Structure 1
């Protein structure tokens, strides 16, 4: 994604002061359309899905001024017109630190209203306050066959869909493949974004070594997490034509937030809640 497609006033890469009290004005929207047009995703979307954000540093004050801490999960639908810029999201959440809220339910409603307004679509909000709830989901690698052990030569470090291939004369297969070698870079700051990716498909058997080379090819790519997941989905559909496909990327946290976008063919079941050891 080019810098020119980003809002001129984006907070990414800038030194800013953290608001001391509730301030929804810091939230910034990034239209999804520009990046999707680059990928040729115009008209009806070929996928369903969501961007699942987890916040580990949420805190506010109760009516008597006592701090409350919690974890939160936010679900932004993939068909929302906007995604939310990550730095503005962090600033917004921190603006609640010294703000009194009548109850956790009142805060949940406020979060949902503010985020939905920016995304221009309903955003789901779950708060985990109890210790047992805050520990879930348990740390575990994404389920599936990890292909990272394959002994391959690699010489492409920018997205190369031409690397993808199916096995010669491949029959229909259904499998779940996982790699921990996904890396991309923030389009503004250039900072690396580290992640794992799970690909579940039904269709002509995909060559595992070819898929691993393709995943590694994102290593110097600049793109937001959500856009990378959509590009992987688009390329797999174009090159391998599976009848069923789900791409689930789990990126490590930055500033107390991790982002876990998934995209799947219509009717695909959402991935089970997961949290990798690196998250």
Structure 2
């Protein structure tokens, strides 16, 4: 048996020249219909913040240039962009010449905006690592060590969530144990989820059991966060709610969807140590 006979040895053809047609938009309505979200009356505001770590092109003299970049896709855009297609699209820049850095940024912004169906903000560089806990983690509480037995790993079960009506709180809870699977490739997606809310106190052990119930579930990152948001909104009845998931990197990209009740302040952009 040779390496070519193994799954790891299979050759993958990457684009040799710039090709915007590689981007594959997926209608958000498809996933939202399964959750019961009306696309014409979204219960949340938000965005999907992408971090790109592997971006390169050729300058006007043919010299390679490298950069990192951040993309912000509005949650009310009609389409999300499938992550593998975005990876292939960015790789199509590798052997393409551009006059300057701004020409690259503008081209990516135009192409992503066209695919998403709404303006996508593109900037070179990445948010800082959260050494200062910019997402509020100084005041947050990890629920990962709650003393609870778990035997439900999918499908996600909103009935596991419990809120105590006579105990009103304002708090931020976090868990690094969110895992789901990509519906296209079947590969695991790992994330830390941050839940900030004001309202009836969420039972922390119950919240942990609920988040772990995504473990065998296949759904896009953005749809998982919207499912978590809508389930917490319905079962917890908070006055204010913010849900952010910071997914680990795959293929040079990580995705950070954020959804919140209207009027909620956008969390400060940051990155986790696992990103």
Structure 2: tracts of 5 or more residues without a match: 1-9
In the alignment, the residues of structure 1 paired with residue 207 and residue 32 of structure 2 have an alpha-carbon distance, to the nearest angstrom, of: 22
In the alignment, the residues of structure 1 paired with residue 215 and residue 202 of structure 2 have an alpha-carbon distance, to the nearest angstrom, of: 21
In the alignment, the residues of structure 2 paired with residue 151 and residue 185 of structure 1 have an alpha-carbon distance, to the nearest angstrom, of: 26
Structure 1: tracts of 5 or more residues without a match: 1-13, 129-133
In the alignment, the residues of structure 1 paired with residue 225 and residue 271 of structure 2 have an alpha-carbon distance, to the nearest angstrom, of: 17
SS state of the match for residue 148, structure 2?
A: coil
1:98 CA displacement: 0.9
Q: Give the aligned partner of residue 207 of structure 1.
A: 203
Write out per-residue CA displacement over residues 20-77 of structure 1, whole angstroms, 9 at most, x where no aligned residue: 1111011111000011011110130000000000000001111111111110000000
Q: Give the aligned partner of residue 112 of structure 1.
A: 109
Q: Give the aligned partner of residue 68 of structure 2.
A: 71
The 3 A distance-change label for structure 1 pair 268 and 15 is farther
Which runs of at least 4 in structure 1 moved beyond 3 Å after TM superposition?
139-142
In the alignment, the residues of structure 2 paired with residue 269 and residue 106 of structure 1 have an alpha-carbon distance, to the nearest angstrom, of: 32
1:170 CA displacement: 2.8
In the alignment, the residues of structure 1 paired with residue 94 and residue 186 of structure 2 have an alpha-carbon distance, to the nearest angstrom, of: 29
Q: Give the aligned partner of residue 268 of structure 1.
A: 264
Write out per-residue CA displacement over residues 165-215 of structure 1, whole angstroms, 9 at most, x where no aligned residue: 013x53211100000000000112211101100000000111111111111
Alignment of 1:139-154 (within 5 A): 139-140=130-131, 143=137, 144-154=140-150
Write out per-residue CA displacement over residues 196-253 of structure 1, whole angstroms, 9 at most, x where no aligned residue: 0000000011111111111111100110000000000000001011010000000001
1:15 CA displacement: 7.6
In the alignment, the residues of structure 1 paired with residue 142 and residue 33 of structure 2 have an alpha-carbon distance, to the nearest angstrom, of: 32
The 3 A distance-change label for structure 1 pair 92 and 138 is same
Whether 2:15 is the aligned partner of 1:19: answer: yes
CA RMSD of aligned residues (A): 1.4
Whether 2:123 is the aligned partner of 1:126: answer: yes
Counterpart pick for 2:94 among 89, 97, 122: 97
Would you say how many aligned residue pairs link Structure 1 and Structure 2? 259
Counterpart pick for 1:138 among 123, 129, 152: 129
SS state of the match for residue 268, structure 2?
A: coil
Q: Give the aligned partner of residue 8 of structure 1.
A: none
Give me the TM-score of the superposition, normalised by structure 1: 0.90
In the alignment, the residues of structure 1 paired with residue 129 and residue 222 of structure 2 have an alpha-carbon distance, to the nearest angstrom, of: 23
In the alignment, the residues of structure 1 paired with residue 211 and residue 20 of structure 2 have an alpha-carbon distance, to the nearest angstrom, of: 36
In the alignment, the residues of structure 1 paired with residue 184 and residue 59 of structure 2 have an alpha-carbon distance, to the nearest angstrom, of: 37
SS state of the match for residue 205, structure 1?
A: strand
Counterpart pick for 2:44 among 42, 47, 50: 47
More divergent stretch after superposition (252-261 vs 149-158): 149-158
In the alignment, the residues of structure 2 paired with residue 83 and residue 201 of structure 1 have an alpha-carbon distance, to the nearest angstrom, of: 26
The 3 A distance-change label for structure 1 pair 139 and 171 is closer
